[in-house]
């Protein structure tokens, strides 16, 4: 009898049962862990989603000072969310914190470079830069705006951009 045959003859039904029981035990522990981790993750998601809904509701009601702390909390939970940073930028400018707004707008572009093609976002960014008296940066952003397709809700988009560009000259 070869080595494999001798090894196989040493395995008893009891050994096989212990191996199967151990295997099933490991699977059971894995399933319990997965269930508890998923449940915990679901709870965090629901809390954040509720907070997000409340923040957007306050934002849309133009209660920026009340929406701001909620968005700041959400940003801590989701530091790479361009959407939350965009809301923060608008909320900051509407509460008078223009420098923070500029930072958030730049963060949005860093996270999502395609926002440079978003006409609405870019004109807002240009206006904020102009308001902060950063005329050179505002001019660059607004010149980019002239190359963008105007949003449907702003038929006078290019006229508005040209008015803002004129303000960068003075």
Segment of 48-52, 68-72, 76-80 carrying the highest mean pLDDT: 68-72
**What CATH number is associated with residue 44?**
1.25.40.10
For the record, the structure tokens of 86 come out as 């965009």
Q: Can you give the pLDDT at residue 42?
A: 57
How far is the CA of 149 from the CAs of 108, 141, 145, 157, in angstroms? Answer: 20, 14, 8, 9
Which of 8-12, 18-22, 32-36, 109-113 has the least mean pLDDT?
8-12
* Residue 114 resides in a domain: yes
Inter-residue contact 130 to 164 (CB < 8 Å):
yes
43 compared with 85, residue with greater pLDDT: 85
* Residue 2 resides in a domain: no
* Residue 69 resides in a domain: yes
* Domain housing 84: 14-169
* Residue 68 resides in a domain: yes
Greatest CA separation found in the chain? Answer: 99
pLDDT digits over 27-55, tens only?
A: 888 887 776 766 666 565 557 788 899 99
Query: What three-state secondary structure class fits 81?
Result: coil
Provide the number of structural domains found in the chain.
1
Which whole number is the average pLDDT over 89-112? Answer: 97
Per-residue pLDDT at 61 exceeds 90 = yes
Nearest by Cα to 52 from 24, 84, 29, 23: 84
* Residue 6 resides in a domain: no
How far is the CA of 17 from the CAs of 8, 29, 158, in angstroms? Answer: 15, 18, 77
Inter-residue contact 124 to 131 (CB < 8 Å):
no
* Residue 34 resides in a domain: yes
Rounded Cα gap, residues 2 and 30, in angstroms: 38
* Residue 32 resides in a domain: yes
* Residue 5 resides in a domain: no
């Amino acid at each position: 009898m070869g080595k494999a045959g001798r090894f196989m003859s040493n395995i008893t039904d009891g050994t096989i049962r212990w191996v199967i029981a151990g295997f099933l035990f490991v699977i059971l522990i894995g399933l319990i862990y997965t269930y508890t981790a998923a449940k915990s993750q679901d709870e965090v998601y629901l809390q954040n989603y509720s907070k997000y809904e409340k923040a957007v509701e306050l934002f849309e009601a133009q209660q920026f000072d009340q929406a701001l702390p909620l968005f700041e909390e959400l940003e801590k939970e989701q530091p790479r969310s361009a959407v939350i940073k965009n809301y923060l930028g608008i909320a900051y400018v509407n509460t008078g914190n223009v420098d923070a707004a500029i930072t958030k707008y730049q963060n949005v572009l860093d996270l999502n470079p395609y926002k440079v093609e978003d006409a609405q976002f870019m004109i807002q960014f240009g206006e904020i830069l102009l308001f902060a008296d950063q005329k050179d940066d505002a001019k660059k952003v607004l010149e980019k705006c002239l190359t963008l397709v105007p949003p449907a809700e702003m038929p006078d988009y290019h006229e508005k951009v040209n008015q803002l560009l004129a303000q960068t000259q003075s």
